[in-house]
Structure 1
Amino acid sequence: MLLSKINQRLALLLLLLYPLLAPAQAHLNLALEANANRGRPLLLWARKMDGGTVVNFDTATFRQGRGSLRLDLEKADEPTSAAIYTLFSFPVDSVRGRLVTVSGWVRTRGFAGQAGLYAYAHTPDNDDGKDRRDQLENLPPNQEWRRLELTLVVKPTATAFGLGVRAYGSGQVWFDDVEVRINGRRYQDGPLAGTEALLLTAQERQTPAWSFEQLPPPAARPDPTRVTLRLDSLLPRQGRHSLRLTAAPPARPGEAVPVVYLGTLPIAQLRGKMLRVSGYWRQPAPAGAGAPALPVFTYARLSTDGRGGTESQWSHGVVELPPPPRPGAEWAAFSLRIPVADDEFATDLSLGMRLPGPATVLLDDFTFSLDGQPYVPALPPAPAPAAPTTAEVAWLRRVLVPLPVSAPAAGAASKTPDLAALGPLIGNARVVGLGEVTHGSGSLFEMKHRLVRYLVEQKGFTGFVLESSADCEPLNQYLQTGQGDPARLVGSLGVFSTQEVLDLLRYLRAYNQRPGVAKVQFAGMDMQAPENALAFLQQAARPDDEFVQTRLRELAAALAQVPRSGGGPALDLFQTPHQPTDARLQTLLRLIRELRTGLDTRFKLVRNPDWTARQQARFLFELRRLEQGATFRRLPLRQGGDYRDACMAENVLWLSQNLGLNGTPTKLAVWAHNAHVATSALSQRPLGEWLRASFGPSYLSLGFAFGQGSYAAESGHTFRSVAAQPAPAGSYEAWFQATKLPAFVLDMRRLKLNDENAWLFQQQQFRDIGIQEAPQNFASHELHSEFDAVLFLQESKAAQHLK
């Protein structure tokens, strides 16, 4: 009973907090909290003030929450006036023909004059076009918190409703906790559909293309628990991608259907004209289900130029468009007509879609016309990238942790271990993701060697996991027994067959020879080469085990028939995850199921099995990697990338539980590209996001970066040294280089946004190179949301690949 009540209270709390947590839409901020709307608390409020009035949000004085609105009115010969009020963003549909009660709290210090609330409704049948009520009172100079209230009957013909706070006089006035009740029921200050673009910068609002080759800006994306957005590479109408929107079923009866932001058009050329939006859409129906709910296209007129105050912006509300004919599983053309009002206040037109769940719809290739003539939205010139300021660099130097650029010389006396400064960052982490901006920087590899050494010697890590599909068991045996030629074994690691990795593995072998230490184990987590998993299975199985050997021979034959990516039509596992339509893959998956089931049954029935439980688990693990790799080969490029990261996360989780001796959990150092160890990404779900879901804060994501130098790039079957492109202005590396420090680590987990670090919370260019030489070294990233910390080196040298 107690647990039930607690759950009910938690559910109620989440319900009340949900409007404040919704990521993509603005809300009115009636509570007058300073951090609302991404730190723009008066985003949907206008202001009229005499000179000498200062508007502040006071986080030390408030009636409830974490702050209040304070007006400082200058003492002058004439009383000073100030009004802060909402404009057109309040949903007028909710108040038409109803009694509206507005209340709020006021406080004064050293004040002389009047202060209070007011509310108004625009109505076409009034002489002045407006109904209005004021509740202004002569307040004492030092009034403690006092509640004010007014009522207004809103006519059914009202076209807009707003409310505000006012002060007239001199001194200080605080306002807090404004509340609206409609026919006695409290208005929930929730996210307002159509306001997504108001949370974006001017540059972000100008959608660069309507072909959906990239997702909308992160700040405008919907709550992922309601609607998910993905770039879909399977059968786009044109280009490489289409936009896939998937809405979840409503969490409770009567829940509002979300509006998904698609993009913005500047309205200057549209005023007074008929805008036609043309495009393509399709709506695959889930297997065995009826027709999904029909999506509805929407638009909203916005004002984004701060008219009416330095911060004021507003939305005129969402308008639903008549739905085009329902699409099917194939691409279908549609056309929408939007009469754009000749409104001098509107500056942008936001397009969206209201998507009832559960449903999926795909969109592609939008084009536009005005009064029958083709129209291509003009893009504003890109602003010049900002150079790091003195204050920004000073802040960065205060919060970063400098690191020695190289390890102490062998035999050098030292009171502290190498990289001991990283101890607070690593803390109690059980899995540490060690990233890299390229697979070819020898300098980053050397730093990661030192980090692995620190994790092993000082933090008790006993697992080293590499982003590799190679058969890593011979290398692990070398670490345990010293058997084998390490240089030859490292030569099988492909892009990681470098002198730097060889040096690390030789160190680990030497460490394992120390008396009394917990031996370090080595494994690969990737699954792109199912032949290697099959080879392990063939070597591990007893030659006289007819059941296993027969199945392995059948698996080898089936695997040879599974084409690699690009061989035959790719699978769409979004639509048929339970039954791939590829007969060759079906055969292989059936054989795997039969072998897995047979082994499990036999292990349970035999009193003294030939295999230990640990050997059985390892065999089944490699069988799973075979299954992963074969399925991966049949997926389109985009789905394949997401599937690969999910599988690597599954494998890391298994290794953390089974790689240690005697089945004990193991602390793991996971060596992979930045794109994999990141806990979020702009267009996919990386390995690190899965690991954060599995391990919580016990997973540490450490991105790596460098400023200048060279890296090794694959060229044919060899690697060559390539000069890295200089860090451009406006890139994260530009700020890092400005510190003039040779190496440092920046812990971003507890940073608070301020004027000196705003660049770190924004999307910027960041070096991002794979295996081959990259014609463009930099791509857009959100560093603060992708990594817990970043380790930076000023200089990079190319990795030394083994001959």
Structure 2
Amino acid sequence: MSALGMLPGLAQAQARLNLTLEADANRGRPLLLWARKTDGGTAVDFDTMTFRQGRSSLHLDLEKAAEPTFAAIYTLFSFPVDSVRSRLVTVSGWVRTRNFAGQAGLYSYAHTPDNDDGKDRRDQLENLPPNQDWRRLEVTLAVKPTATAFGLGVRVYGSGQVWFDDLEVRINGRLYQDKPLAGTEALLLTAQERQTPTWSFEQLPPAAARPDPARVTLRLDSLLPRQGRRSLRLTAAPPERPGELVPVVYLGTLPIAQLRGKMLKVSGYWRQLVPAGVGAPVSPVFTYARLGTAGRGGTESQWTYGVVELPPPPRPGAEWAAFSLDIPVAADEFAADLSLGLRLPGPAIVLLDDFTFSLNGRPYVPAPPPAPAAPTTAEVAWLRRALVPVPVLAPAVGTAVKTPDLAALGPLISNVRVVGLGEVTHGSGSIFEMKHRLVRYLVEQEGFKGFVLESSADCEPLNQYLQTGQGDPARLVGSLGPFGTQEVLDLLRYLRAHNQRPGVAKVQFAGMDMQAPENVLAFLQQAARPDDAFLQTRLRELAAALAQIPRSGGGPAIDLFQTPHQPDDARLQTLLRLTRELRTGLDTRFKLVRNPDWTMRQQARFLFELRRLEQGATFRRLPLRQGGDYRDACMAENVVWLSQNLGLNGTPAKLAVWAHNAHVATSAQGQRPLGEWLRDSFGPLYLSLGFAFGQGSYAAEGGRTFHSVAAQPAPTGSYEAWFQATKLPAFVLDMRQLEINDANAWLFQQQQFRDIGIQEAAQNFASHELRREFDAVLFLRESKAAQHLK
């Protein structure tokens, strides 16, 4: 079999790469053939008001300067690799910035099996000025003859706004024409259209996938069907230019999930008529393309794996003749669909009819994936018996009123030291209010003394507000990014009121994240006495070293898994050396000075923040695939320290840890979340409480502001569909001691579950297994958007 490259296609039926980055490409899905990797604080859209030429540009709005973020938008297996093998490929494009601090640029890469890491790559990443008008970038890659895939992309790390426009690819100096790509028809169809092909050809393929009538016409032929009432008649016109190939014509799609690890045999009947005035007929060629979709939390991406020609069966004649095609499907195939097509190399009239299929010799009838079943009466009855209803009440603001309404949660929370309070999105005001009530219950009824937030902002001023009442709480809460909401402000005001009550142990507040080491350094500088020459000198040296690891990442990320001792990373080495020297010097000073300026608690806090500085600087030097795991491990390390040091008289403190579901979970696919580390540290003394909601709205960040977004309805087959079937406004389900039975088997399986970050999600749901990820889940039927303070 041979892969085809650069086959001409038809605009209305096939997708383009969209190198000119136009918003209306591919029927309004401009990044259809591109993938993306973004941190939570990056918004990706198309700007129809700012562009170099055309009608739009690709716009990336990165998170605020305190927390730099990463984004990469790239083609994967979409580019026709046959056209670039053994050639010099130059990728160019234009970039523009506003209020930007960091690096941005282009890169190209070729997957090659004879490389140690599987690919050759060239980058042009530059520290761009904060406000750069359109500027051209260029990168050149020599592609090996063994390349199996070629791709290109744009990449940004930092903060601010970046635009890209007008990408070009030149192959040995010749401009690549961004033509429609053969085999991509199914990507432009709806799921319903893809899943209902008519292999008996009693009706035409979907209109959106039909070719240009001027080149290939399709119609139903009722005069000469092989069986039934109709067959499919394809008529191809002669090529417009010598040597030009007539495109692949889409026939239908099969779901690959049912084919993996098997030999697919396609059988059917065909006949070929010779158009008048044409000599020897050309042989039609059957093809297939493997099409895939992937993504999580709204980062949808789709791509094609290239068109493959099948060995041709015997050329048909004027009468119906049977044919068969064999297509092996790998067991580890990760594409979603297999799209069948027919290429007509020249003028021809071909009729097709009566396609049938077999897998490993057994008959197979293609069918769409079975529709998820609605919850049964028995399943809903079991769930109502197992859950604990929770009243839906708004928390009283700024008072010390007790919360007996949550007393039913006592058996779940008693004998626990650390509770992970999750959230399905950072923007649900209803979840924030319920977490407010839970924190109050933990403080008043269970003796919790620490409140820890998934934030890398400077949380010490807020903690000082809780202890002393000093500071403007609204301004301080407003600095917490996605947590800068009225709901969080109400909680902090309550905790301040609690701390003012006589005879109570005061609640402490801290952030556990480490992505903003500048905030940590500011705390260290404030904690040191201005006349302490030793500390101030070392802190100035640390500030200079941190400035060499800027928010742009300071160059390509270092793979610290392969080189954990950082031998090639002089910038990071310098900072780590300085922190080690400062830690050693402080340890010596504490042992020599009889009456130190700091208490033991202050000393421990200073060393803890010094460790957070190391964490944040190291995090910035990691590639994206390692950064998430490293961050969760560091947050867990910080939670353990806070548990040991926020209590009184050396007693461990009970902590409420407020973070996204993805962090508090004790299990996750392909990574080790914060909750898994905490389970290792605390065992059953750690409780992972996930949150969910059924319908309503949430707040999403866009353009540095937050706006209300309608949540997608819970689809049949999602966990939320079962939860909504109870018709209860709120409840908690303890999953720790459950044993599987017919009525709760759905809870022991992977299902769709709402999973949204800080931005609006194109797809609200992703595959999860709740019982493995959480000890319990708290469900709210309705969600309202959080009220952001700015």
Q: TM-score range by the shorter chain?
A: 0.5 to 0.7
TM-superposed deviation, 1:408: 7.8
1:467 aligns with 454
Gaps of 5+ in 2: 1-34, 38-70, 79-110, 119-143, 149-257, 264-303, 313-325, 330-336, 339-365
- Do structure 1's residue 679 and structure 2's residue 692 form an aligned pair? no
TM-superposed deviation, 1:637: 1.6
1:431 aligns with 418
CA contact (8 A) 2:421 2:664 kept: yes
| Letter matched to residue 448 of structure 2 | F
1:291-345 superposed Cα distances (whole Å, 9 cap, x missing partner): xxxxxxxxxxxxxxxxxxxxxxxxxxxxxxxxxxxxxxx99889xxxxxxxxxxx
Aligned pairs for 1:18-167 within 5 A: none
Pick which of 377-386 and 664-673 moved more.
377-386
Q: Distance in 2 between matches of 1:331 and 1:510?
A: 71
Q: Distance in 2 between matches of 1:390 and 1:746?
A: 18
CA contact (8 A) 2:400 2:494 kept: no
Other structure's SS at 2:637 match: helix
CA contact (8 A) 2:403 2:437 kept: no
1:61 aligns with none
| Letter matched to residue 628 of structure 1 | Q
Q: Distance in 1 between matches of 2:497 and 2:714?
A: 39
1:527 aligns with 514
Q: Distance in 2 between matches of 1:385 and 1:406?
A: 34
1:91-134 superposed Cα distances (whole Å, 9 cap, x missing partner): xxxxxxxxxxxxxxxxxxxxxxxxxxxxxxxxxxxxxxxxxxxx
Change (3 A) 1:434 1:416: closer
TM-superposed deviation, 1:667: 0.1
- Do structure 1's residue 764 and structure 2's residue 751 form an aligned pair? yes
Aligned to 2:579, which of 592, 616, 620?
A: 592
- Do structure 1's residue 636 and structure 2's residue 636 form an aligned pair? no
1:319 aligns with none
Other structure's SS at 2:405 match: coil
2:679 aligns with 692
Change (3 A) 1:284 1:437: same
Pick which of 407-416 and 704-713 moved more.
407-416
- Do structure 1's residue 654 and structure 2's residue 666 form an aligned pair? no
Q: Distance in 1 between matches of 2:442 and 2:391?
A: 17
1:703 aligns with 690
Aligned to 1:544, which of 516, 531, 538?
A: 531
Change (3 A) 1:396 1:774: same
2:477 aligns with 490
| Letter matched to residue 460 of structure 2 | E
1:572 aligns with 559
CA contact (8 A) 1:764 1:781 kept: yes
TM-score, scaled relative to structure 2 = 0.55
TM-superposed deviation, 1:698: 0.2
TM-superposed deviation, 1:414: 11
Change (3 A) 1:413 1:776: closer
TM-score, scaled relative to structure 1 = 0.55
Q: Distance in 1 between matches of 2:758 and 2:75?
A: 30
TM-superposed deviation, 1:554: 1.1
Change (3 A) 1:424 1:642: same
- Do structure 1's residue 800 and structure 2's residue 787 form an aligned pair? yes
Other structure's SS at 1:712 match: strand
Q: Distance in 2 between matches of 1:608 and 1:750?
A: 53
Change (3 A) 1:435 1:281: farther
Q: Distance in 1 between matches of 2:593 and 2:395?
A: 55
| Letter matched to residue 404 of structure 1 | P
TM-superposed deviation, 1:724: 0.7
TM-superposed deviation, 1:419: 0.5
- Do structure 1's residue 555 and structure 2's residue 506 form an aligned pair? no
2:762 aligns with 775
CA contact (8 A) 2:450 2:656 kept: yes
Q: Distance in 2 between matches of 1:412 and 1:722?
A: 31
Change (3 A) 1:657 1:414: closer
1:664 aligns with 651
Pick which of 380-389 and 452-461 moved more.
380-389
For these two proteins, the number of residue pairs brought into alignment is 471
CA contact (8 A) 1:418 1:454 kept: no
Q: Distance in 2 between matches of 1:414 and 1:662?
A: 28
CA contact (8 A) 1:565 1:636 kept: no
Other structure's SS at 1:527 match: coil
Other structure's SS at 1:433 match: strand
Q: Which has the higher contact order (CA 8 A, sep 6+)?
A: 2
Gaps of 5+ in 1: 1-210, 214-232, 241-277, 286-329, 335-345, 352-364
TM-superposed deviation, 1:558: 1.3
- Do structure 1's residue 611 and structure 2's residue 598 form an aligned pair? yes
1:738-779 superposed Cα distances (whole Å, 9 cap, x missing partner): 110000000011111111111111111111111111111111
Aligned pairs for 1:395-406 within 5 A: 395-406=382-393
Change (3 A) 1:654 1:415: closer
Other structure's SS at 1:419 match: helix
TM-superposed deviation, 1:415: 11
CA contact (8 A) 2:390 2:405 kept: no
Q: Distance in 2 between matches of 1:571 and 1:410?
A: 48
1:197 aligns with none
2:157 aligns with none
TM-superposed deviation, 1:440: 0.7
Q: Distance in 2 between matches of 1:347 and 1:490?
A: 53
Q: Distance in 1 between matches of 2:433 and 2:77?
A: 41
Q: Distance in 2 between matches of 1:281 and 1:724?
A: 47
Pick which of 763-772 and 656-665 moved more.
656-665
Q: Distance in 2 between matches of 1:529 and 1:408?
A: 32
Q: Distance in 1 between matches of 2:466 and 2:308?
A: 67
Other structure's SS at 1:552 match: helix
Other structure's SS at 1:551 match: helix
Q: Distance in 2 between matches of 1:691 and 1:537?
A: 27
Once superposed, what is the RMSD of the aligned Cα atoms?
3.6
Aligned pairs for 1:360-399 within 5 A: 375=327, 377=329, 381-399=368-386
1:354 aligns with none
| Letter matched to residue 521 of structure 1 | Q
CA contact (8 A) 2:399 2:494 kept: no
Change (3 A) 1:459 1:410: same
TM-superposed deviation, 1:457: 0.5
Q: Distance in 2 between matches of 1:519 and 1:562?
A: 38
1:90 aligns with none
CA contact (8 A) 1:564 1:634 kept: no
